[in-house]
Amino acid sequence: MSQVDLTRRLALLGITPDDAKVIEPFRLKLYDAMDGIVFRFYRFLQSQPEGQRFFPDDNRINQLVPKQREHWRRLFNCEFDEAYIKGCQAIGHAHLVNGVAPYLYIAGYTFFLVELQNFAVMNFANPQELRTILAVVTRLVHLDMDLALSVYTREVVQLVAAKAAQGH
């Protein structure tokens, strides 16, 4: 992804450099709570038939929790550098090759978004501050989902183009 593409996506979602300052109080409080959110996420997945296929026991979950925690921390640091973009793309690719359907991916992001919104509501009483934090959290989560799911789109477009080139 080029810097122009990233800049365009940030603008479309309304993400600005000021968001890093706005989200800082949330981010600092979230660090201590992130492990709990991540563990609840994996427990939720294990409770679903689709998730049981990927997480039949805790071994894989225990490997993924630190990676998941670090990914969310990078997102809320609002440093959209090449490492972050490549990380999102690698995550999207890993989910694609492991057969995680887009609807499951969206369900996972929905789980996190609701958890993050609930965390904000429980930790920020000032209505204006809460509205601003909720807006930034929503934008950032959607950026992350966009970057990861774009891998699916790119792979499908490449498959269609390859089949077309073969005359199918």
CB 41 within 8 A of CB 111: yes
How high is the mean pLDDT of the chain?
90
The stretch 91-117 carries a mean pLDDT of: 90
Report pLDDT for 164: 80
Look at residue 168 and tell me whether its pLDDT is greater than 70: no
Report pLDDT for 161: 78
Look at residue 120 and tell me whether its pLDDT is greater than 90: yes
- Specify the 3-state DSSP secondary structure of 31: helix
Residue with tokens 């950032």: 140
Please tell me the pTM assigned to this model.
0.89
Going by pLDDT thresholds of 50, 70 and 90, the confidence category of residue 88 is: confident
CB 124 within 8 A of CB 25: yes
- 4 — phi, psi (to 5°)? -65, -45
Report pLDDT for 3: 75
User: CA-to-CA distance for 8 and 45, rounded, in angstroms?
Assistant: 33
The stretch 29-51 carries a mean pLDDT of: 91
Domains of the chain are 3-165 (1.10.490.10)
User: CA-to-CA distance for 61 and 43, rounded, in angstroms?
Assistant: 9
Show the DSSP H helices in 78-167 as ranges: 82-97, 102-123, 127-165
Q: What is the pLDDT of residues 135-154, one digit of tens each?
A: 999 999 999 999 988 888 87
Q: Three-state SS string across 53-72, please?
A: HHCCCHHHHHHHHHHHHHHH
